[in-house]
Each structure stands twice: as C-alpha cells, then as structure tokens.
Amino acid sequence: RKNIGILTSGGDAQGMNPCVRAVVRMAIARRCRPFFIYEGYQGLVDGGDKIREAQWSDVSGFLTLGGTMIGTARCMAFRELEGRRTGVLNLIRHGIDALVVIGGDGSLTGADRLRAEWPEHVAALEGEGRITKEQADRFRTLMIVGMVGSIDNDLASTDMTIGACSALERICESVDAILSTATSHQRAFVVEVMGRHCGWLALNAAISTGADYLFIPEAPPKHDDWEASMCATLKASRDAGKRTSLVIVAEGAIDRHLNPIKADYIRDILATRLGYDTRVTILGHVQRGGAPAHFDRFLGTMQGAEAVEAILRATPQTPSPVIGMLENKITTQPLKEAIELTGQVAQAIEAKDFERAIGLRAASFAK
C-alpha cells in the first residue's frame, strides 16, 4: 500500500482535473491512499493543511471542469535547495512515498531535480535530526511520476500534452468567429496564440483555420526581408478573390536573429504597405479556459490510471518516469530523458540552428 501525493503545477491546462480524478480513483481502487497537495509546489513547501488525504467523492464532477481544482502556483521557494528540502520533510511527515506531478516543462524540471537530490535531502534531514533513522530508512527513495499538463504541447516524449487539444479547439472557435466578421469587412487579422517557445498551437491552428501566413519560433523566416514575402503572399491571395487575410503568430515567434516578431508590428506592415484595414487579436487566457475537450478528458484519465500502475510496478531501481502517449499508446519513459530532449530544442534555437530545432521537435513526437 502506497501513499501517493498528487499536485498540479505551473500554468493550468484543461484536462488536469480529469487526470487528478483518475489518479485518486485508481489509487483507491488499488488499495493505496491518495493525498492532494494544494497549490503546486507551494503546498509541498508549506505542508500542514495544504496536504490532505483525498476520498473517492472529492473528485466527483472533475471530468468536465477546466483549470485545476487543487490549485496551482508558481513557487519561488521550490527553486531553492532549502525550499525543496522543506518539501521533502513535509512529504516524509505525511508518509508519502510516491509523488505524481502534473505540470509543464518547468514543473517537471523541478520534479526531476527533486528526484536527483532526494537521497541527499533525506541524509541531510536525518543528520540534522529532523527525521528519525526509521523514517530515513523507509524513505530512502521516492518515486516521482510526471505527466505533462500544458496547453503548449512543448514536451518531448509525448505526442500530445494534457490541455493542448482543448486549447487548440478554443483557438479554432475564436478564429472562426473572427473570420466571419473579417470577411464581411474585407479586413486582415493578426491573431497571436500562446505556446511559449513552442509553435505547435500556432502551426495546428494555422492549418485548421486556413491561415495565409504563420510565424513560429522553431522556423523563423529564412530572409531578413520577410515583410516583403509576407505582403506578396497576402496580396496574391486577395488578388485571387479572397476577402480576408489571416496571419497567425505564436507568442514566442522570432526572426532569424532571435528578435521577437510581434503582432502589432505585423499589423503596421500590412496597414502601411498593403493599405489593409488590419486588426490584432491576442487571444490570451481564453485559450486555457473552459471545459476540457473529449480528448483531454480521455488522455488525462488514461495517463492518470497508468501513473498509479507505474508506481506499483516500480522497484527502488526504476528511474522516475513521465507518462505520455505515442502513436495512440500510453507510454512510460524516463523523466530525465524527456527533460533533456526538451532542453535540446531550446538550445538549438538559441544557437540559431533552426533545422535542428525542427528536427528535434519532429523526433520528439515520432520517438
């Protein structure tokens, strides 16, 4: 019988609640005890009533709710060694021997750090007399299971992160609405979508809404005079009879010198060079709001169930896993490798090696 702590961390994402529900209910079904850790890593550091045993009925209705009902936070203390050590102490005090973290790139990087440092923390806490030898012996290892809750779909090791599908759905609905008014007035629209340093949402939104032009971080325009190419493309489609122009720009879009490409700048170019009546819409938090789409309910549920199974299968030698989905199959892969592979994309972009960045993104899905 394991005591399993569950937390959601970083940016919220639709599907986190279905995932929490699955972990709680699968844990209970497997005769384990699930514990909510409220407000992400902040709850881990604060301890006390921020850590509470969860019952079957506590997660009733979670399937249809967006956001995260157990709260999330950005926690500065957890970035420091001392904060993480306090988190370890709180876990041990509550008798928690496995931790499920549902979060994005940053949260899972933090989880991986906790995993790597765990034995050192336990030894230090024992040395300082804050835990007994019996506690130290029982908690020499901690199983941490990661699941990627992120609308950005920016983590290697999974084809889809929990929340990405719902966010894309919301973007498509919004752009459809924008397009009907844009067509009426023959306007151009520049729509900025989320995704941080990942262009997945923007790319898929552009394909799904029939955008005329797209900017994503992994594939900046190849030439400095990209404004002229963009204008020529948009003009050609107007000349062919289209009544609107739609440009989708990822929030992390950059040019080939790594300078940001912003929606307002694109609007100014279209207005001055082409004379189009151009409006900017920054979709913002509407993208992360609302009920989870079917796929995120399904993905969260299947992964949450697998997280509990992974905990029960693990031996002290098993590396901490991240649960994902590749080619429609729920997968379990080492957390450490997923974090490293994801980091390589950012490094390739920083080094302006965009071919490699695109290759790595594609490889991380196909792996």
DSSP state letters, 59-125? GTTGGG--S-TT-----SGGGSHHHHHHHHHHHHHTT--EEEEEE-HHHHHHHHHHHHHHHHHHHHH
Report the nearest approach of ligand ADP to the CB of residue 74 (Å): 4
In angstroms, the CA 307 to CA 101 distance is: 10
Pairing of strands 3-9, 98-103: parallel
Any catalytic annotation for residue 152? yes
Measured from the CB atom, is 214 or 299 closer to ligand ADP?
Answer: 299
Does residue 108 contact residue 155 with C-beta atoms inside 8 Å?
yes
Q: Name every residue whose Cβ is closer than 8 Å to that of residue 126 and which is 6 or more positions away in sequence.
A: 132, 133, 135, 136
Q: Helix (H, G, I), strand (E, B), or coil: what is residue 151? A: coil
- Indicate the residue among 187 and 196 with the shorter CB distance to ligand ADP: 196
Residue 69 or 274: the one with the smaller Cβ distance to ligand ADP is: 69
DSSP code string of 267-317 = HHHIIIII---EEEEE-GGGGG-SSPPHHHHHHHHHHHHHHHHHHHH--TT
Half-sphere exposure of residue 213, counting CA atoms within 13 Å on the CB side?
A: 30
Residue 155 vs 211, nearer CB to ligand ADP: 155
Helices 105-127, 335-350: crossing angle, 10 deg rounding: 130
Q: How far apart are CA 163 and CA 61, in angstroms?
A: 18
Cβ–Cβ under 8 Å, residues 193 and 248: yes
Active-site residue, from 152, 154, 212, 296: 152
Residue nearest to ligand ADP (CB): 106
Distance from C-alpha of 110 to C-alpha of 156, rounded to nearest angstrom = 16
Q: How far is the CB of 355 from ligand ADP (least distance, A)?
A: 26
Q: Measured from the CB atom, is 44 or 246 closer to ligand ADP?
A: 44
Q: How many residues does the chain have?
A: 367
Distance CA 273, CA 120 (A): 61
Residues within the interface to ligand ADP (CB under 6 A): 9-11, 41, 74-75, 78-79, 103-107, 109-110, 113, 150
Q: Which is nearer to ligand ADP, 16 or 23 (CB)?
A: 16
CB 121, CB 83: distance < 8 Å: no
Give me the active site residues, please: 152
